A and B are shown apart, each in its own frame.
Chain A
Amino acid sequence: MATAMPPAPQPRWMRWVDQRLPIFSLMKDLNEYPEPKNLNYWWNFGSLAGFTLVVMIVTGIVLAMHYTPHSDMAFDSVERIMRDVNHGWLLRYVHANGGAMFFVAVYIHIFRGLYYGSYKSPREIIWWLGVIIFLLMMATAFMGYVLPWGQMSYWAAKVITNLFSAIPLIGPDITTWLWGGFAVDNPTLNRFFSLHYLLPFVIVGVVFVHIWALRTVGSGNPLGIDVKSPKDQIPFHPYFTVKDLFGLGVFMLVWAAFVFFAPNFMGHPDNYIPADALVTPAHIVPEWYFLPFYAILRATPDILFINAKLAGVIAMFGSILLLFVLPYLDRSKVRSANYRPAYRVAFWIFAADCVLLGFCGAAAPEGTWLVVGRIATAYYFAHFLIIVPIISRLETPKPLPFSISEPVVKGAAARA
């Protein structure tokens, strides 16, 4: 590692700074940080999410210079950004589609973790911090969606804040407090703007701790076995900077395709109608990245003495909170699904179930879709609470390679 190497020659001013503030040593440590050499492209999505966070903060700060957080002026100020502010359209479309791209990166990052067992010892705290980041992202995205104060903004705010009215006894008082009034109105918009500006910086803080924990125990890898020797590793720079940059190029192409060719593809036309407290749009659905959770909310029926509304809210929040206890539900010592034949099947069925829930969340909650939604919701919970614990006890994993280098060296020997 860096400490064992001779100090690299550097200009005197850099040495002068480094002796007083070891910024260059820190950068050197980060660059030379040894990573497992077998990381595949699924390991790109953490840095992609980090990049997206930076873009969101930069575009968001500039957008906030043009936006007016008042219920009478918010909608018009967003239209002014689109029509009159220089490059306002670009900043807004980058920011609006960036929210979706952030969820793309984070969902893939989460499913990477589920497949390769990234939540297992010794990476539980990294995983928990990740779930906290995910929850913060959902809150931030929701409040950002409210700011343009269109019809979908207003009704999203109304429906989501009303989730809290399901809390027994104090629920209605909590919603009044959240709104700062008796309905979603100007005070609500004001505080959402304040929090939408604040939370991304909270996310930056948690991301920092997330990476700190990651650097403490080291990255996992597709084989799911521990690093045995320095032979299993290569330095982050240049090997993974280059790999991350290539992925970033592809990611930005997709993002740019949305921004320049289909900027409203993921939005709803109703959000270009100013908010109206007296008319609910015919079909309110959240953004695509919330659809599976929305489906769980709507599909849950009365359970024993709990009414459907409270049960739906509990199920929706529970579906995410389950991720916190996942390290204890999955007792298998083998991390990578590549060596777990039964879990590997369960993983793909679960992934399909999440997509199916997304379709249920987009459809009207009636007839066949309601039934399908209920089955898919039941399966979501069964996966975590029944299937994963049982598989982790009964499954016979395939034999693991001795080290990360071994299959490569053997493969080379076989080819020779």
Chain B
Amino acid sequence: MAEADAHGHDGETRRDFILLLGNAMAVVGAAAFAWPLINSLSPAADTLAASTTEVDLSPMKPGQAITVKWRGSPVFIRNRTPGEIARAVKDDGASMPDPQKDEARHQDGKAQWLVMVGVCTHLGCIPLGQSAGDNKGEFGGWFCPCHGSHYDISGRIRKGPAPKNLEVPDYRFATDTRIIVGEKPRKPAA
């Protein structure tokens, strides 16, 4: 638009400006409508609502493990024996990809109860180790057969491609033998 127009103006005209403004508004409008489309793919209200699972721990003997379903994923719950706890604590200082002390993986005073999301942090397979006959890996905890990740009896990654320890979800002891997975623990009354 460098040439003189019918009104004798050089360079930019009102029409150029209106054109630019119109195009800019169209882009902003399209972008604004993209958000509802993108956001509709996020978890819906009913999916978010079904987000806690209550578990009765009373029938579980030491050394026993159960798997419950929470938010579509398995949660491993293990009543650890004193020997297993000692083994987990002894390895606190060992070198590992995602260092964490065993005490950070259970709730205070409940060292026997290990509650973890049973999904390998590599690519989401379910590790073996919940049943008696399973391959428990080189560290006697869990072993993911998909790509060979070994977890110890505290659920910490020790060997293989997984980058993180098995995730410990939010859970709250409603009573001494009943937990609600998906709720944050309440602060103890002072």
Contact = CB atoms under 8 A, between A and B. Distances in A.
A308 to B, nearest CB: 4
B13 to A, nearest CB: 36
Contact of A176 (B38, B42, B69, B146): B42
A282 B144 CA distance: 10
A187 B44 CA distance: 9
B41 A191 contact: yes
Interface stretch (A101-109, A127-135, A158-166, A379-387): A158-166
A165 B162 CA distance: 12
Contacts of A1: none
A317 interface: no
B124 A159 contact: yes
Contacts of A159: 123-125, 146
B146 A280 contact: yes
Contacts of B124: 158-159, 161-162, 165
Nearest to B162: A309
B161 A284 contact: no
Nearest to B73: A183
A163 B147 CA distance: 13
A309 B145 contact: no
B114 interface: no
Given A162-B123, A277-B73, A312-B161, A282 B145 contact: yes
A328 interface: no
Contacts of B44: 180, 187
A155 interface: yes
A323 B144 CA distance: 33
A96 B190 CA distance: 64
Contacts of A283: 145
Contacts of B147: 298, 365
A283 B146 CA distance: 7
Contact of A280 (B38, B43, B97, B145): B145
A49 B151 CA distance: 45
A56 B42 CA distance: 30
Contacts of A155: 125
A158 B72 CA distance: 12
A307 interface: yes
A295 to B, nearest CB: 11
A409 B7 CA distance: 69
Nearest to A370: B148
Interface string A116-138: 00000000000000000000000
Interface of A: 155, 158-159, 161-163, 165, 176-185, 187, 191, 277-280, 282-284, 298, 307-310, 312, 364-366, 370
Given A277-B72, A282-B145, A365-B148, 18 more contacts: A159-B124, A159-B125, A165-B124, A176-B42, A180-B47, A181-B43, A181-B71, A181-B72, A182-B47, A182-B51, A184-B72, A278-B69, A280-B145, A308-B161, A309-B122, A309-B123, A366-B148, A370-B148
